[in-house]
Amino acid sequence: MAAGAAAAALGREGGEDAFRRLFRFYRQRDAADLRGVVDFSAPGGQVFRSQLSISSVSDQDACRAGLQPVSRWKAYGLSGYPGFIFIQNPFLPGCQRHWVKQCLKLYTQKPNVCNLDLHMAPEKTADLWGQSKEKLRRKGSSKCEPRSLLEKLRWVTLGYHYNWDTKKYSANHHTPFPSDLAFLSEQVAAACGFRGFQAQAGILNYYHFDSSLGIHVDESELDHSRPLLSFSFGQSSIFLLGGLKREEAPTAMFMHSGDIMVMSGFSRLLYHAVPRVLPNPEGTALPSCFDQALSSDLPVGSVIEHSSDEDWQVCAKYLQSSRINMTIRQVLAEGQKFPEESGTNTESRAPSEDSHHQENSRAKRHKPTNS
């Protein structure tokens, strides 16, 4: 049975909710037939071209963020999902390298919070890059080699730090949001019709081939009128976008390196998940979008920085078996404040199974906080 037909049949079965059944279907390691997965590189069917606000972002500002002029972006919508926008890799050559390096080298630094903080002493997580780069550079293909700390990384939070216990943000657990990532997010949001977007919180997810992201809704932000932005780099994945209830069967789609998803309006509060990370469909260790180095002629005010060959070697080795996703949110509306809370523990805790990473191996299921 073709994947599309099998998925449809699964969605109609009783018992387990439709989203969970399809999550398990696409999670299977031997699910080789993926013809039912939407591929935006060959749009058709329920996929249609989406109009962007070209005049909202100057070509210069797009270039400063490492993006092509908005007039060249390929943006799509999905019938049945108003407010959902898929932008097929709008990055300028070499610019994805910057964001990968930031996610591995800079954003992992303190005062940002990561999953390793939950079971390691602060001095052990102060410089994940420095402690990992040599091990990563020398890494071979053997699965028996001990993993570096960067390979044990599962998530990092930025800005307003998400509390995994209470599923809330708070005013007293906040650190400065990276200015380069804020600028990138503002340009993408403006191009999608959301001028004045403020990047206030970010969750960076670090996936490997045995990783997945559980079924959840991003509803903790106090302002749902602003979009959720999602950026992907490295290996590909299957993304499931469902409905307002888990009983509604989701639509499966591919996400490749450089792709951006924007969830706004009706689609802002839909269930979604990542059941599976896939090897680069081009058949090479890394997607071809990483082949080109950054141009030596960067515009004035560019937030993009050149990466040293040494740094990129470490990033490239990491990406051979990994995918990085950045989700950026505006937590508060203009002038809005957090409600008064008493006795709230604002420390970041481990995510529950359905709200964050799940990892499978043939031998056992790992808890999200395991190293």
SS3 string, 97-131, reads HHHHHHHHHHCCCCCCEEHHHHCCCHHHCCCHHHH
Give the CB-side neighbour count of residue 171, counting CA atoms within 13 A: 8
Position 355 confidence tier, pLDDT thresholds 50, 70, 90? very low
For 370, residues 6+ apart whose C-beta sits below 8 A from its C-beta are none
Q: Which range (135-139, 141-145, 176-180, 240-244) has the least confidence?
A: 141-145
Annotated binding site for Fe cation: 216, 218, 272
94 pLDDT band, cuts 50/70/90, is very high
Question: CA-CA distance, 224 to 201, in Å (whole number)?
Answer: 13
Quick one: average pLDDT of 273-297?
A: 91
Alpha-carbon span 29 to 272, nearest angstrom:
20
**Res 244: pLDDT:** 95
pLDDT at 15 over 80: no
pLDDT, averaged across the chain:
87
Classify 250 as helix, strand or coil: coil
Percent of the chain at pLDDT exceeding 90? 70
Per-domain residue ranges for the chain? Answer: 37-139+146-329
| Sheet of strand 357-360: strand arrangement | 251-255, 236-241, 272-278, 211-216, 357-360, 365-366
Q: Which residues contact 7 (CB under 8 A, 6 or more apart)?
A: 22, 25, 26, 36, 249, 252
pTM, rounded to two decimals: 0.88
The pLDDT of residue 352 is above 50: no
Give me 139's structure tokens. Answer: 């890494």
Residues at the binding site are 216, 218, 272
- CATH number for domain 37-139+146-329, candidates 3.40.50.720, 2.60.120.590, 3.60.70.12, 3.20.20.140: 2.60.120.590
